[in-house]
Amino acid sequence: MRWLIAITLLLGVVTAAALSAVLPAGDRTFQAIVSPVHLLMSVTVPFTGVLLARDLRRSPVAARVGRTFLIGTLIAAGAGVFGDVVGAVAVAIAPHAADLWHGAGTVAVGGVLVQVLAQLVGIGMGLLLRPVAVACLATIVVPLGLWLLLGAVDALQPARAWLTPFGSVQNLLSGRMTAVAWAQWLVVLALWGVGLNAAGLARLRRATT
């Protein structure tokens, strides 16, 4: 798992450096750099959740369930903070844009929440699916597939922010969270963070009884 965490962190560094180099000077804001950093890191963060779920399946002790989620949350939160710091450094090194830090607090908190939700999706898929490669692929295909499916029908596009992680992530990383956007985030968290893992834990209990 260490190599996977290292790849995730390296991805954040490379993305921030690349954006700092290619973005026009006037566009190098904290939000413009940190948002893609978190989006790309959230692709690999769930893979660590899948590995944690695999280990939990091998030794399904009730006391380990809470420990698994705690470790997963700490890894994700750490990745989120790392992404924020990397983005801040990239902005500070080349401070050319006006209003560099507009919405920075909201984006920074949102980045951590993005990684935590991504991790919960990973654990949930890891509990529900096997082998590991299938569960890892599902962390990308299932949420993104639903987002694309809803986007294919004009009338259903507003549901993206209520039903898909990516729809909610766009709000979290925009720096402009409203009361409705927070409500959408809570619904997505309930579906993908709580509901998915509840289903996974139910399957784990059935498998051990």
Q: Which pLDDT belongs to residue 27? A: 82
Percent over 90 (pLDDT), the chain: 69
Amino acid at 90: A
| Cβ contact 160:150 at 8 Å | yes
Q: Is the pLDDT of residue 21 over 80?
A: yes
Q: Is the pLDDT of residue 36 over 90?
A: yes
Q: Which pLDDT belongs to residue 61? A: 63
| Cβ contact 182:109 at 8 Å | no
Q: Is the pLDDT of residue 64 over 70?
A: yes
119-141 tens-digit pLDDT: 999 999 999 998 999 999 999 99
Name the average pLDDT for the chain: 91
Q: Which pLDDT belongs to residue 137? A: 97
Taking the whole predicted model, whether its pTM rises above 0.85 is answered as yes
Q: Cβ atoms within 10 A of the Cβ of 208, count?
A: 10
Q: Is the pLDDT of residue 208 over 80?
A: no
Q: Is the pLDDT of residue 56 over 80?
A: yes
183-203 tens-digit pLDDT: 999 999 999 999 999 999 998
What is the rounded distance in angstroms from the CA atom of residue 23 to the CA atom of residue 94? 11
- When pLDDT is averaged across residues 172-192 and rounded to a whole number, the result is 93
Strand, helix or coil for residue 97: coil
Domain borders along the chain are 2-132+141-207
Structure tokens at 27: 């566009």
